[in-house]
Amino acid sequence: MMNLLSRTLSAAVVATVCGAGIGAHAAEAGDRSAFKTVHVFDRDDGSFTTGVVEGRDGSLYGLTIFGGPNDDGEAFRLSPDGTFDILHEFTGSDGENPFGRLIQGSDGNFYGTTISGGASDLGTIFRLAPDGTFTLLHSFGAAGDSDSPFAGLTQARDGTLYGSTCSDVVGGFDAVFAITPAGAYRIVYQFSGDADGYCPHGELFEANDGLLYGTTLRGGAHGAGTAFSVSTAGVHTLLHSFSGGADGDELQGGLVQASDGQYYGTTSFGGANGDGTVFRMDAAGNVTTLHDFLEGSGDGARPDAGLVDGGDGYLYGTTSYGGAGGKACSLNHCGTVFRISLDGRLDILHSFGVTYMGAHPSTLLARISKNRIAGTADWRDGKVQGTIFVLKQ
């Protein structure tokens, strides 16, 4: 299992680590929105964050891939006053290495997944109360089951939670699955691993038409990834097979439906410059590239996460590399936070790496209260630790 984790993290791990610094700071030079680091991980409280979500109490909740007594990952809460609390430390039997972010369900509890650990060491689904009470809902890997959920969960309007798996087991299969808050689990759709794509890596979401929409990292007609929909009854529709060229290559993030009813996402590679794209897709699966990233141009490169709708006419996202970070991050730079309008006008809101606090953001941003966006970045002070940041829209 750790082979797939290692491959997923390898691009970040081998990147040139940026400069030093600790504590919150104001926006770096050239920022268009006020940027602030609100927490710096020191390894004792975890490392490699998976993104954050704002709870109903105004706190930010999240997971770290590593940290804790066995380095299996942790769940945490960051209160509005800056108080940081570890809510749960994974031990292996309850899961190891959560990779997707938490969501808060309609019942007020948080739900998430781990890519390993559990009864078969192939991942788990869990429930976490705001006070830290932990309940293991499902261990992957039993006969007829899939394994290794790299993405977090989404809750449909019927209250059921849906997610996906990216199997790393010989003879295993990728799947879309459903689980109720009480723990009733079923496979919704099993991927063939070829024409319909393999390794769904980003979060699913329920669109206005009641279908679940998602992407696969690879596979499809050209091996470069797919976009798909699937009904809760398991009817799968292949919407688009990416070519690996002009329309992009490798979808690590999921899709989002914007106010115009269209679907938007990113590719980590491909496009006109090979450095990734932002794209729009209609209901028939026709893809239009809105932006081609170019390393060295200042707009970033390799958007490894999907987009979040800011509700202000813009979509917000990150790139793991590029930007105006300068020499502190060597030739790769440190990544960016950007916004893009629905017609493709892109603004860089923050470039990591000048005075430096965190770098290489690769997780989905979250829209939070007071017209702000929250996110996480991976690197600090030459170590795999990470930060949480907020910025105004």
The pLDDT score that the predictor gives to residue 44 is: 82
**Which residues sit opposite 92 in a β-bridge?**
95
Q: Where are the domains of the chain?
A: 2-392
- Inter-residue contact 340 to 346 (CB < 8 Å): yes
| Across 38-47, 269-278, 305-314, least confident range | 38-47
* Per-residue pLDDT tens digits for 27-49: 343 445 689 999 999 878 888 89
The dihedrals phi and psi of 161, each to the nearest 5 degrees, come to: -95, 140
Distance CA 24, CA 47 (A): 18
Contact residues for 340 (Cβ-Cβ < 8 A; gap 6+): 278, 290, 291, 307, 314, 315, 317, 346, 347
Instruction: DSSP for 51-81, please give it.
Output: EEEE-TTS-EEEEEEE-STTSS-EEEEE-TT
- Which strands make up the sheet holding 277-281, listed edge to edge? 256-257, 263-267, 277-281, 287-292
Distance CA 229, CA 247 (A): 19
**pLDDT higher than 90, residue 220:** yes
Helix (H) or strand (E) holding 88: strand 84-89
Instruction: DSSP for 8-51, please give it.
Output: HHHHHHTSPP-----S---PPTT-SS-EEEEEE--BTTBEEEEE
Q: Which among 150, 175, 94 has a CA at the least distance from the CA of 127?
A: 94
* Per-residue pLDDT tens digits for 114-138: 999 999 999 999 999 999 999 999 9
| Across 4-8, 50-54, 243-247, least confident range | 4-8
Decide if domain 2-392 falls under CATH 2.120.10.30: yes
The pLDDT score that the predictor gives to residue 95 is: 98
Mean pLDDT over the full length of the chain:
89
